[in-house]
Amino acid sequence: MKKTKIKVQDLNFFYGPHHILNKINLDIPAGTITAVSGPSGQGKSSLLTALNRLWENIDGARATGRIWIDFGKGLEEISKKEYNVHHLRQKVGMVFQMPNPLPMSILKNMQFPLKLAGISKNMVPEKIETALQQAHLWEEVKDRLSSDAQMLSGGQLQRLCIARSLVIQPEVLLLDEPTASLDPASVEKIEQLLLELKSRCTIVMVSHYMDQIRRIADRNLLLSNGNLSLVTTKEQ
């Protein structure tokens, strides 16, 4: 039985007058890949934004309920207003459906989260190389780190975004349809990467692709009409 990494209790989520998530209760075990699937517009992405409180930056969004995450010192309630949201987001990384590199070089993209986290400059090159290697991107970009990030292909960009999240060593990684806009070869690389990452990072991933969920997810949760249900686990 794996330790609980994330615990969600009575989570309600609203967009303006629309009630998107209805009293969600959920336990996510550490070191697993949890897939969230379901029809469009059912609140899968909203659930992810509740886990790192990113909804607070979205106009019209509102969440109630309680969420705890274990960052090594037991479950901490991250939904408390006084919990440092910037610290939370450094521990809970997020990758979006469309790759979103910053308008700067590959190197500066990688340095950005380290700068925000106040990591000392002499640690930076090593951390960047490690994260790019974890994302299987190092060999492809090591000779052109100062090139504009926008010059990379779609699959490379998405791996750069994953590497950018990994560079500050998050304990949880949220992925919102990370392979939706990619070709099969890039999808395979990213799936392989996620399988390697789950030993050091708990992953929650929104996906529409049942094949992909079967290949890599330990558990599949179905969101429908604002309610969450466990569909399958790897053991089944």
Partner 1 sequence: MKNHSAVDIFLSFYAWCCAFILTSAVLTILGYLLFHGLSSLNLDLIFAHTPVMDALFLKKQVFGGLLPAITGTLALIFLSMLFALPVGIATGIFLSEFARSGTRKILGLMFDIMASLPSIVVGLFGFAVTIFLHQHFFKQLYPCLLISALCLAFLVIPYIIRSTQIALESLPPQVRLTGPALGATRTQNLWYVLIPMAAKEIIGGIILAIGRSAEDTAVIMLTGAVATAGVPNSIFSGYEALPFFIYYTAAEYANTSELMKAYGAALILLFICGGLYLFAYWIKRKVR
Cα distances (angstroms) measured from residue 119 to each of 9, 128, 153, 205: 34, 12, 29, 28
Encoded tokens for 234? 């790897």
Binding pattern to partner 1, positions 7-46, x when CB under 8 A? Answer: ----------------------------------------
Binding pattern to partner 1, positions 89-118, x when CB under 8 A? Answer: xx--xx-xxx-x-xxx-------xx--xx-
CA 184 – CA 190 distance, rounded (Å): 10
Q: Does residue 223 belong to the site contacting partner 1 (CB under 8 A)?
A: no
List, edge to edge, every strand of the sheet that includes 33-37: 92-95, 172-176, 202-206, 33-37, 219-224, 227-233
Q: Minimum CB separation from partner 1 for residue 180, in Å?
A: 13
Site size toward partner 1 (CB under 8 A) is 26
Residues 156-175 that bind partner 1 (CB under 8 A): 164-165, 168
Strands 172-176 and 202-206: parallel
Q: Minimum CB separation from partner 1 for residue 54, in Å?
A: 6
What is the Rg, in whole angstroms, of the alpha carbon atoms belonging to the chain? Answer: 17
Q: Minimum CB separation from partner 1 for residue 75, in Å?
A: 21
Residues 59-88 that bind partner 1 (CB under 8 A): 86-88
- 44 Cβ neighbours under 8 A, 6+ residues apart: 36, 37, 38, 176, 206, 223
Binding site for partner 1 (CB under 8 A): 52, 54, 57-58, 86-90, 93-94, 96-98, 100, 102-104, 112-113, 116-117, 148, 164-165, 168
